[in-house]
Structures are given as C-alpha cells and as structure tokens.
Amino acid sequence: MAKPPLKGGDGDEDPRITDLRAYRKAREAEKRRKPPNPKAQMRETFLGANPRAGLILALLAIAVLAYIFLPVLLRGIPR
C-alpha cells in the first residue's frame, strides 16, 4: 500500500525533508573536518594509551636486571 500524503500543504513542514537537510549539513561538515594525524596514532599503539607506560617499562627492566646481576655482584665482593 502507498503511504498517504502528509498533512500540511507546505513542503517545509515535512519532517523527512528537515531530516534530509540536517543529514546533508552533517555530511558536509564531516567532509570539511581535518583527517586524523597518522603520527599521533602510531605513537599511541606501541605502549598503549597510558602516558606512564614508558616509565613502568623502564622500572620493570631495572628490576629484572637487579634480580639477575645483584646476586652475582654480592658474591664477588669478599667479606
């Protein structure tokens, strides 16, 4: 079945036309927006979104090295 015509003789009152105008306006605004910076995205993927991830990684590396080399150094010192 066909849809009945909308009430109200003026085409500006049709909500479908209003939605289409808003859609076109949003689509044009999307085209005008700058594309995302690829360098910022690449920087974020290595260590994740945590800004302190590098510090945590460095502390973990220091702890592992101390766990491995500290007993060797302590055994080498005569008492």
**Per-residue pLDDT tens digits for 24-71:** 888 899 888 877 766 665 555 567 777 788 899 999 999 999 999 998
* 14/8 Cα distance (integer angstroms): 8
Element (H, E) at 32: helix 15-32
Contact between 59 and 67 (Cβ < 8 Å):
no
What is the per-residue pLDDT across 5-32, written as a single tens digit (0 to 9) for each?
666 555 555 555 567 788 888 889 988 8
Q: Which residues, other chains included, contact 54 with Cβ-Cβ below 8 Å and sequence gap of 6+?
A: 47
